[in-house]
Chain A
Amino acid sequence: SQQGEEDPQALSIQEGENATMNCSYKTSINNLQWYRQNSGRGLVHLILIRSNEREKHSGRLRVTLDTSKKSSSLLITASRAADTASYFCATAQGAQKLVFGQGTRLTINP
Chain B
Amino acid sequence: GAVVSQHPSWVICKSGTSVKIECRSLDFQATTMFWYRQFPKQSLMLMATSNEGSKATYEQGVEKDKFLINHASLTLSTLTVTSAHPEDSSFYICSARDPLVDTQYFGPGTRLTVL
Contacts and interface: CB of A to CB of B under 8 A. Distances in A.
Q: Are these two chains actual partners, yes or no?
A: yes
Interface residues of B, number: 26
A41 B46 contact: no
Given A42-B106, A42-B109, A96 B93 contact: no
Interface stretch (B13-21, B65-73, B74-82, B97-105): B97-105
Chain B CB within 10 Å, residue with most, of A33, A48, A98:
A98
A99 B49 CA distance: 12
A1 B44 CA distance: 10
A43 B6 CA distance: 13
Interface in A64-110: 88, 96-103, 105
A89 to B, nearest CB: 10
A12 interface: no
B28 interface: no
Nearest to B94: A42
Contacts, number: 54
Contacts of B91: 40
Contacts of A105: 41
Contact of B46 (A40, A97, A101, A102): A97
Given A42-B93, A96-B32, A35 B43 contact: no
Interface of A: 1-2, 31, 33, 35, 40-45, 48, 88, 96-103, 105
Interface of B: 1, 4, 6, 32, 34, 41-46, 49, 60, 91, 93, 95, 97, 102-109, 111
